[in-house]
Amino acid sequence: MRLSKNAKASGKDAKMKIGFIGLGNMGGGMAANLAKAGHEVHAFDLSGEALARAGEAGCHPVSDAAEAVNNMEVVVTMLPAGAHVRKVYEYEVIINANPGTLVIDCSTIDVDSARDVATMAEAKGLVPVDAPVSGGIAAANGGTLTFMVGGSDDGFKRAEPILADMGKAVIHAGGNGAGQAAKICNNMLLGASMVATCETFKMAEKLGLDLQNFYDISSKASGQNWSMTSYCPVPGVGPQSPADNGYEGGFAAALMLKDLRLAMEAAESAGADVPMGAEAAKLYEQYAEAQGQGGKDFSGIINMLDKG
């Protein structure tokens, strides 16, 4: 695993012709940051509104995916799920990209799809890299994402400066699919630790503890974790977080559920025993789907754990 400290500086030099497909909540900000860094960004999305926003942000909107791939040095995709990525690769990227083109998929998808599209791309002489992100919409807009990269050393070396223009850290996790593997392992840990943090604060409350006082203790004791000290699920406690905004914004519970499901699939196919991850997946399914709270921030699950 390699952490690039100087990627930001090197990214300032080479200006590239980049095709960007998928200009939604995340991709919109990411494409805008590439344009801001001086790259020529040919942007495509099925949504006319997303295309118009990309145009206002300095990208060149194009009328179909083929145009965002033809004669580009780099193609970046930021799509909802594995099925979209497979389709866009099969029908657009593989057919239209010139040999040698660097193709970077930043979507969060299953490891098998990531490896399959990489194999297809390599067979056409392209250089594939999976580079899913940690960080939500604010980080995408602010250019402070963390990228976990799967691909060859050459692919990583070429992708690093481009990704650095959209993020604060670019880390090589291993061969193709390793970026996705690292992402779902990280998010399984995040989902489980958020649920554990939520239930702990609820229990502390029932035991009569003052929650700010408990935070002061636990954040300096062995229970300290990111869900508590960077993203506290209790309003008014810890740093500013979605809890202080009615659990709006941040990272949607539906996306946490998506990642936990990907983690469960990967655990099954790798033969890994993940009882805590499985419990978190069950609880997020209940919160996001049965209770219809998928649009709320994932820390809002604290409200489901409240027996009153």
Quick one: tokens of 299?
């820390």
80-88, 189-197, 201-209, 296-304 -> range binding ligand NAD (CB under 6 A): 80-88
Contact 223, 200 (CB under 8 A): yes
Residue choice 41, 45, 147, 160 for contact with ligand NAD (CB under 6 A):
45
Secondary structure in 3-state letters for 185-208: HHHHHHHHHHHHHHHHHHHHHHCC
Residue choice 10, 25, 152, 186 for contact with ligand NAD (CB under 6 A):
25
- Classify the C-alpha dihedral 82-85-89-90 as positive or negative: positive
298 lies in the site for ligand NAD, by CB under 6 A:
no
CA dist 4 and 164 (Å) reads 9
Those residues whose C-beta lies under 8 Å from the C-beta of residue 148, and which sit 6 or more positions away, are 131, 132, 133, 134, 171, 173, 178, 179, 182, 183, 186
Please say which residue, 107 or 197, places its beta carbon nearer to ligand NAD. Answer: 107
Binders of ligand NAD among 266-295, rule CB under 6 A?
Answer: none
16-24, 114-122, 224-232, 296-304 -> range binding ligand NAD (CB under 6 A): 16-24
Q: Which residue has the tokens 């069950």?
A: 282
| CA 12 from centre of chain | 23
Q: Binding pattern to ligand NAD, positions 89-128, x when CB under 6 A?
A: ------------------xx--------------------
17-25, 163-171, 266-274, 287-295 -> range binding ligand NAD (CB under 6 A): 17-25
Q: Among 192, 191, 182, 190, which Cα is nearest to 276's?
A: 192
CB of residue 211 vs ligand NAD: minimum separation in angstroms? Answer: 27
Please say which residue, 88 or 182, places its beta carbon nearer to ligand NAD. Answer: 88
CA dist 123 and 113 (Å) reads 15
10-18, 22-30, 123-131, 282-290 -> range binding ligand NAD (CB under 6 A): 22-30
CB of residue 198 vs ligand NAD: minimum separation in angstroms? Answer: 19
Let me know if 124 is a catalytic residue: no
Those residues whose C-beta lies under 8 Å from the C-beta of residue 79, and which sit 6 or more positions away, are 21, 22, 27, 85, 88, 105, 107
130 lies in the site for ligand NAD, by CB under 6 A:
no
The single residue of 8, 12, 15, 183 carrying the catalytic annotation is 183
Q: Which residue has the tokens 């008014």?
A: 236
Please say which residue, 81 or 196, places its beta carbon nearer to ligand NAD. Answer: 81
245 lies in the site for ligand NAD, by CB under 6 A:
no
CA dist 142 and 144 (Å) reads 6
Point out which residues bind ligand NAD (CB under 6 A). 21-27, 44-47, 50, 65, 78-80, 84, 88, 107-108, 133, 136-137, 251, 255, 258
Catalytic residue set:
183
